[in-house]
Structure 1
Amino acid sequence: MTKAEILKREILAQYKSVRQFAIDMSIPYSTLVTALDRGIEGMAYGTVIRMCDKLNLNPVDFSTLEKGTDLGNKIVENRVMLQYVKLNKVGRKKVLDYMSDMTALEKYQA
């Protein structure tokens, strides 16, 4: 399934019509229909991100995000995990130990 097909499926699952979604997103209907028919590669990156955020989709792989998930946090989590899985056992332990130390310091707590 292409990204455009995933988007269209999610739009129709969450909205009455593609037109309603276009209105809600302030995107010209004809632009959205063309993108869904021909592929989203020509759309502005910011528009695709806004659409994914509205539909609770991960803009990297278009998988479904949980409702209420902050997209920015999810992207950061993905980046951290992509680097973490590249580490061997010793490297992973060192990273986890370091993160444990950092979270114990009030200055670094969220």
Structure 2
Amino acid sequence: MSVEQDLKTLILKHYKSIRAFALELNIPYSTIDTMLKRGVSGTAVSTVLRICHALQIDADSLSNGKIEEKQPVSTIKYSLTEEKHIKKYRTLDEYGKKNVDTILDNEYERCNKDEKDLIVLRDIKAESEVPKGFHSIPTPQVDAFATHASAGQLQSTKQIDAAEALADKLRQKTNSK
């Protein structure tokens, strides 16, 4: 089947007739009829572009004798690094893509959690003592305190006392539920 026959079939799929299509585009019926009978290559470029736009098909493909759906033009600007990531991603097999997708989803979720939905407990207590639903994330000051405590140089600071008080309040809150 020729590209002109495919084009005619596509037009009739979306419009009642070739004449209805011509009226819609404000192109003389004879122009479209001639194009379908003698070939797309003899038709004015502006006419071919209007037809391609109306049918949502790619003009470059049509000029190469194929009818392909027009791909939307992306308005997103990518950095060079992002383009490199995309190229690398496209070379991965399904297993690799699944791994990258999982990591990306996890990191996106971590970075976009609503702050009021996540309470992070900064505590010097062991992970096993942290109330259920909380995470223990040591801060640099707590790490330093733990180092001093293990070396026998225990230094109580206001920050650590405040962290312990917060931990106690949170434990009471979770135990009361």
What TM-score do the two structures reach when normalised by structure 2?
0.38
Whose Rg is larger? 2
Correspondence for 2:68: 63
Gaps of 5+ in 1: 75-95, 102-110
Which consecutive aligned stretches of 4+ in structure 1 deviate over 4 angstroms post-superposition?
none
Query: Does residue 37 of the first structure (1) align with residue 37 of the second (2)?
Result: yes
Correspondence for 1:14: 14
Correspondence for 2:80: 98
Report the Cα offset of residue 99 of structure 1. 4.7
Gaps of 5+ in 2: 62-66, 84-177
C-alpha distance in structure 2 between counterparts of 1:5 and 1:99, whole Å: 45
Report the Cα offset of residue 97 of structure 1. 7.1
Report the Cα offset of residue 3 of structure 1. 2.5
Correspondence for 1:88: none
Correspondence for 1:27: 27
State the superposition RMSD in angstroms: 2.6
Residue correspondences, number: 76
C-alpha distance in structure 1 between counterparts of 2:19 and 2:60, whole Å: 25
Q: Percent identity?
A: 36
